[in-house]
Amino acid sequence: MKPLQTAILNSFARNIFLDHSAVLACILDIPLIIINENEFIAAKHYYPWCKSIFIENSSLSYEKIVRDYNVLFFISSVQPVFHLFSHLLNKKLVYVHFPHGNSDKGYLFDHQKFLKEFDLVLFYGNHMKQRFINQNTWDKENEEYLFIGNLRYEFYRTHKVFYDELVNKEIFSKIDSQKKTLLYAPTWSDTESPTSFYQFLKMVYTRKQLSNYNILIKPHSRIENENPAKYYQETQEARKLDHVLFLEDYPLVFPVLEKVDGFIGDFSSIGYDFIFYRRPMFFIDTIGLDANHPSKRLHQCGINFDMNSEQAIQDLQTYLESWPQEKQELQRDLYYYSFGDPRSLNKLKDEIFEKCYNLWEAKLPYSIDIPSEN
């Protein structure tokens, strides 16, 4: 099989998707093209095996990328300029979409219509595939896909010693080892689900009982981007608390989840990562949906966390001490449906490359009709 020149283009600022793009680049042993210098530095620090390439956005040549590569991986939509240069250069390109977390979003507002422009779509497992079919964003009859399983956990497990030492130094050495630790990971206020972030911050610095726990706050970076002035003003009080530690722009997920005792969230995809551990989960419903709504499937694996109720504090204490077997079974079943059996990363690499090669072989180059001078 002829080797194809393959790369991942990570065209987002900050470290918002680095734990997805860099991990896949490491597994496939292909270049990760980064246009933000801070993200490039983070990639070198947190993913030293990654072939990271830094190109300033102002110097990024889409024509050169199209000339140099046969297969391009994207975490979002394909910029139209790639199609333009593919046409102009009469170049065959295979476009592959890879996910940046599993969730239950998309039932209230469509986020993924652009999947139809890809030659190959990578799904974690059946949950993601069926969700996109139900939401009419992916055509099961005419579009190619591969299941990749929980590749990020498998990658963490492969490099566990490195990552455990890293998070111990950067996070867990800074908190009280005698207290239980909670990770709070909210989503951002997109068109579908408002974030719980600012309400939770108020709860943190007004409810003194929460000082009995270490609280790691891992906000979605788009929360700050939406309104930087509000973000810094509202986080000031919480930053003064000894039991609170912000993990802003911190890309690592599974090395952190490995060591926390419980999870608090709303609709963030990190909740799906955490069900692997079958530990206590507490969910804030910012939409007010019925418990059986498909947007709240993950919430069924945890406990409703009403920030306006004193019961929420009591529930933390109760369930951190004893997590019901019934919830653990729900977590186990949903995890398997979402990610399937563990995958060999080497076999996964071979499967992806084989699929890309077959698609590239079958694809016709773009042709341009040049009008006659007559």
pLDDT digits (tens, 9 = 90+) for 162-219: 999 999 999 999 999 999 999 999 988 776 668 899 999 999 989 999 999 999 999 9
For the chain, what percent of residues have pLDDT higher than 70? 92
**167-338 has the same fold as 6-149+343-362:** yes
Could you identify the residue written with the tokens 């099989």? 1
pLDDT beyond 70 at 235: yes
Longest CA span, the chain = 85
For the chain, report the end-to-end CA distance as a whole number of angstroms.
45
CA–CA distance, 286 with 19 (Å, rounded to integer): 26
Please give the structure tokens belonging to residue 10: 């990570």
CA–CA distance, 197 with 284 (Å, rounded to integer): 10
The number of residues in the chain equals: 374
Q: pLDDT tens digits, residue range 328-367? A: 999 999 999 999 999 999 999 999 999 999 999 998 766 4
Please give the structure tokens belonging to residue 226: 């939406």
CB of 345 closer than 8 Å to CB of 25: no
Q: Which of the two residues, 308 and 355, has the higher pLDDT score?
A: 355
44-48, 222-226, 340-344: the lowest-pLDDT one? 222-226
What CATH architecture does domain 6-149+343-362 belong to? Answer: 3-Layer(aba) Sandwich (3.40)
Q: pLDDT tens digits, residue range 49-64? A: 999 999 887 778 889 9
How far CA 60 is from CA of 4, 21, 42, 215, in Å, comes to 21, 18, 20, 40
CB of 243 closer than 8 Å to CB of 179: yes
* The predicted structure's pLDDT at residue 372: 47
| Class of domain 167-338 (CATH, top level) | alpha beta
Residues in CB range of 125: below 8 A, 6 or more apart: 147, 149, 337, 338, 339, 340
Q: Give the start-to-end residue ranges of the domains of the chain.
A: 6-149+343-362, 167-338
HSE-up of residue 161 (Cα within 13 Å, Cβ side) = 0
CA–CA distance, 352 with 163 (Å, rounded to integer): 26
- Predicted TM-score of the model (pTM): 0.92
Could you identify the residue written with the tokens 């250069």? 89
CA–CA distance, 101 with 108 (Å, rounded to integer): 18
